Amino acid sequence: MEKIATGIEGLDEMLFGGIPVKDQVIVAGGPGSGKTLLGFEILYRNAKKGIPSVLITLEENPDNVLKNAKEAFADFNDIDALISKNMLTISGEETARRLLNDDGTSTYTFGNMVADIEEMIKRVGAKLIVVDSISLFKLVLGDDLKYRRSMLALTSNLKRLGVTSLLIAETPSSERSDLRFEPEYFIFDGILIMYQSGEGYKRTLTAEVVKMRGSDHSWALTPYEMTSSGFRMFTVGQS
């Protein structure tokens, strides 16, 4: 099976080599777990290898996302160079703004949104994308059945475009003990969950691969850390 490596220390070991090409993987977690930054680093690592990568941000201004990434990953000193070469693209603000009009009703159809994403992918020839976050779609679409049908349409279009996709999703809690799987998660090929546990200043960050369709993966709950040089997953045998 052809896979695309994440480039993140320990994560490719958890994924037994990486994410299957053209698959769509949910990256879910609560606030502060590092979902967006993880997605950004995967894009960054692949952009450095010459793979055109796009972050489609639907909830934050692209400039703010870029600023936060540079602050978190101070050792990534070639981000701007990758952007100038169209190897790394951060976009999507216009799409998010068009989802709602002033009176809060939907004026911008899901099909229009998918078309915008498709245009971004084709414009730079992207092979790897992150969509942050699909939780906004649920808020806008409202009806659960409509939302799930829309997610099926989105996954179908992404697969047709031949891109490997990470889709960020919010969970109500960062605690593993409170985890409740949303039914739509199982529409996607893979599920990676990021947790925070503990109390006060004693917080532990852990992650697990819950599902990776058609591919072996680790079942271990794995501690991780975020540093200026990127994420590190502490898999068995690492210190």
Q: What's the mean pLDDT in 177-187?
A: 71
Q: How confident is the model at residue 187 (pLDDT cuts 50, 70, 90)?
A: confident
Q: How confident is the model at residue 111 (pLDDT cuts 50, 70, 90)?
A: confident
Which amino acid does the sequence have at 158? L
Using the 8-state DSSP alphabet, how is residue 106 labeled? B
39 contacts 130 by C-beta, under 8 angstroms: yes
Is the pLDDT score of 118 beyond 70? yes
- Dihedral of alpha carbons 193, 199, 201, 202, sign: negative
In 3-state terms, what secondary structure has residue 30? coil
Return the biggest CA–CA distance within the chain: 55
19 contacts 164 by C-beta, under 8 angstroms: yes
- Please name which of 148, 198, 154 lies closest in space to residue 33, comparing C-alpha atoms: 198
DSSP secondary structure string for all residues of 199-222: ETTEEEEEEEEEEETTS----S-E
List pLDDT tens digits, range 151-180. 888 888 999 999 999 999 988 666 666 666
**CA–CA distance, 121 with 97 (Å, rounded to integer):** 19
Q: How confident is the model at residue 191 (pLDDT cuts 50, 70, 90)?
A: very high
List pLDDT tens digits, range 21-78. 999 999 999 888 999 999 999 999 999 999 999 999 987 889 999 999 999 999 999 9
Q: What's the mean pLDDT in 189-208?
A: 85
Domains of the chain (ranges plus CATH)?
3-233 (3.40.50.300)
Using the 8-state DSSP alphabet, how is residue 55 labeled? E
